[in-house]
């Protein structure tokens, strides 16, 4: 059948990219390979003498025959698309979604339209939702359509199956974001590369303890990594010298077992982590902003908070021990601190950080998570006022203030010693207690004469 098409419309009249298409079709029909090879050899001698043409310049019946050899072919959709394209009714979508559960006109328009128009609009994103089983060449075919349209973002949802990375990605120089979702990666060829990928996102991906480093190794300009759920039992080592931004969401959902991480990224500048398992942190001297939420006691990892000493912005929720980090640790660059008050040791942690962050200017306290845990003991005021209170702190925000004995004790100490405090903002969930709690706050001693109270 394929050879008959060539006799109707000579192959040597086609552009090079169209010859690649026919090669793909013929490799799916093994009996035609020899004939196709002979045709290609004869066409190479004649192609310089003929004017190249587009697929859209072919007769409709020939276009339909070509479409019939493609994966995911549907006769009614192909006929409808050819008709709409001929009338100028097809408009390329810059954000294409291919969902094999529906395979509707939207899905197939992406396939047919990308083949019909070599100059189709640049593809901002391509999202493949592949629930069925496919051979590697079928997946590579879909991805190649995006590569031909200079796609910038690719997301592949594989619903638990094993994915062989499409080989065409190794030559794509426009792809900036690659998202792999719910799939397994067994191995990555040594020659494979992702030359332009800057952001790699892995969601529910499995593949052994070294699957993350092996994927990152492919990205020569990689700067951002996002990992959502580590379903590997082994410790995953994230050791990337060039990484700038790391985001990990490893909170347990249901009864799915999750693994842990070892983070050793000295060049890291931005860190966002939610973790219900033990995470090992190495030194991160370039850190600027960190948002950390851990649901396990990090007392066994002495480098946990100590590794964040260079950060300027820190948002922290952690069930810390009595000694949250080694004595002598300093947070000299810390300017903005947000601390969750859900743990029993939050007062002790705050007292330590106030004492060791001399340049702190903004402090936010918030009960981010519901907690029935009471502080272990009433906080003991330090004999020496922390330097940040007497010389730097300007902004205090307390969200979900409940007016407990421990909270009143802490806020009273801050107001009495924050010499340059400009604004103190409080909010509470219990609207019935607003007036009484805020009246109580206003009655507290304030050392700053310019401090403004705000209740919202």
Quote the CA–CA distance of 339 and 396 in Å, as a whole number.
Answer: 12
Look at residue 382 and tell me if it is in a domain: yes
Of 37, 53, 69, the residue that ends a domain is 53
Look at residue 143 and tell me if it is in a domain: no
Q: How many CB atoms lie within 10 A of CB 355?
A: 17
Cβ-Cβ contacts under 8 Å for 383 (sequence gap 6 or more): none
Per DSSP, the residues of 348-407 read: HHHHHHHHH-TT--EEEEE--S---PPPSSPPPPPSS--HHHHHT--EEEEET----HHH
- Closest by CA position to 293, among listed 335, 348, 339: 339
Look at residue 226 and tell me if it is in a domain: no
Look at residue 418 and tell me if it is in a domain: yes
Region at 71 (left for phi over 0; alpha for psi -120 to 50; beta for the rest) = beta
The reported pLDDT for the residue numbered 370 is 65
Quote the CA–CA distance of 372 and 342 in Å, as a whole number.
Answer: 8
Q: Is the pTM of this model over 0.85?
A: no
Per DSSP, what are the bridge partners of residue 429?
none
Q: What is the pLDDT along the chain (456 residues), one digit of tens a residue?
A: 444 444 444 544 455 545 555 555 554 444 444 554 555 555 555 544 444 456 777 888 888 888 888 877 888 888 888 888 877 777 778 999 999 888 777 788 888 888 877 666 789 999 999 998 888 989 999 999 999 999 999 999 999 999 999 999 999 999 999 999 999 987 788 889 999 999 999 998 887 657 777 888 888 888 999 988 766 666 777 888 888 999 988 876 655 656 778 888 889 999 998 876 667 888 899 999 999 887 665 555 456 778 889 999 999 987 765 567 888 899 999 999 999 988 777 888 899 899 999 999 999 999 876 665 565 566 678 889 999 999 999 999 999 888 888 888 999 999 999 999 999 999 988 777 777 888 888 888 999 999 999 988
The reported pLDDT for the residue numbered 375 is 58
Look at residue 440 and tell me if it is in a domain: yes
The reported pLDDT for the residue numbered 4 is 47
| Strands of the sheet with 261-263, listed across from one edge | 236-238, 261-263, 279-281
Cβ-Cβ contacts under 8 Å for 117 (sequence gap 6 or more): 54, 56, 92
Give me the helix-helix angle, 346-356 and 405-417, nearest 10°.
Answer: 10
The reported pLDDT for the residue numbered 443 is 87
Look at residue 18 and tell me if it is in a domain: yes
Look at residue 127 and tell me if it is in a domain: no
Phi and psi of 317, rounded to 5°?
-135, 115
Quote the CA–CA distance of 292 and 248 in Å, as a whole number.
Answer: 10
Per DSSP, what are the bridge partners of residue 57?
none
CATH number, domain containing residue 427: 3.80.10
Quote the CA–CA distance of 135 and 328 in Å, as a whole number.
Answer: 58
Per DSSP, what are the bridge partners of residue 98?
128
Quote the CA–CA distance of 92 and 121 in Å, as a whole number.
Answer: 6
Cβ-Cβ contacts under 8 Å for 214 (sequence gap 6 or more): 188, 207
Give me the helix-helix angle, 136-148 and 16-27, nearest 10°.
Answer: 170
Look at residue 153 and tell me if it is in a domain: no
Of 13, 36, 53, the residue that ends a domain is 53
Count how many domains the chain has. 2
Instruction: Give Dmax over CA atoms of the chain in angstroms.
Output: 95
The reported pLDDT for the residue numbered 53 is 55
Domain hosting 5: range is 1-53
Look at the alpha carbons of 96, 100, 103, 108 in this order and tell me if their dihedral is positive or negative.
positive
């Amino acid at each position: 059948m394929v050879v008959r098409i060539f006799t109707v419309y000579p192959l040597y009249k086609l552009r090079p990219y169209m010859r690649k298409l026919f090669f793909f079709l013929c490799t799916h029909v093994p009996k035609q390979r020899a004939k196709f090879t002979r045709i290609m050899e004869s066409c190479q001698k004649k192609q310089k003498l003929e004017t190249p043409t587009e697929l859209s310049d072919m007769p409709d019946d020939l276009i339909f025959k070509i479409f019939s050899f493609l994966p995911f072919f549907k006769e009614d959709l192909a006929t409808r698309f050819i008709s709409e394209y001929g009338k100028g009714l097809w408009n390329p979508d810059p954000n294409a979604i291919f969902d094999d559960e529906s395979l509707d006109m939207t899905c197939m328009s992406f396939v047919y339209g990308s083949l019909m128009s070599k100059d189709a609009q640049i593809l901002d994103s391509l999202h493949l939702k592949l629930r069925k089983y496919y051979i590697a060449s079928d997946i590579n075919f879909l991805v190649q359509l995006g590569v031909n349209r200079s796609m910038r973002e690719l997301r592949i949802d594989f619903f638990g199956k094993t994915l062989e990375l499409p080989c065409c990605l190794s030559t794509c120089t426009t792809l900036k974001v690659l998202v792999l979702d719910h799939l397994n990666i067994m191995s990555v060829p040594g020659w494979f590369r992702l030359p332009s990928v800057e952001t790699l996102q892995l969601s529910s991906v499995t593949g052994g303890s070294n699957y993350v480093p092996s994927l990152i190794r492919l990205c020569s300009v990689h700067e951002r990594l996002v990992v959502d759920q580590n379903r590997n039992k082994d410790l995953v080592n994230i050791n990337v010298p060039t990484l700038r931004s790391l985001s990990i969401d490893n909170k347990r959902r249901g009864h799915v077992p999750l693994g842990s991480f070892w983070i050793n990224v000295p060049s890291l500048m931005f860190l966002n982590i939610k973790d219900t398992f033990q995470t090992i942190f190495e030194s991160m001297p370039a850190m600027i902003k960190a948002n950390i939420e851990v649901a396990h006691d990090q007392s066994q990892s002495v480098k946990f908070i100590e590794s964040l000493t260079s950060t300027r912005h820190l948002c922290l929720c952690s069930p810390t021990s009595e000694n949250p980090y080694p004595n002598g640790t300093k947070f000299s660059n810390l300017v903005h601190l947000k601390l969750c008050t859900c743990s029993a040791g939050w007062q002790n942690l705050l007292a330590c950080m106030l004492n060791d962050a001399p340049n702190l200017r903004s402090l936010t306290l918030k009960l981010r998570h519901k907690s029935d845990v009471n502080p272990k003991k009433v906080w003991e005021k330090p004999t020496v006022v922390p330097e940040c209170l007497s010389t730097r702190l300007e902004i205090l925000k307390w969200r979900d203030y409940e007016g407990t004995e421990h909270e009143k004790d802490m806020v009273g100490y801050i107001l009495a010693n924050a010499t340059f405090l400009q604004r103190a903002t409080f909010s509470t969930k219990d609207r019935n207690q607003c007036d009484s709690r805020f009246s109580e706050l206003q009655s507290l001693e304030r050392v700053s004469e310019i401090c403004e109270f705000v209740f919202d």
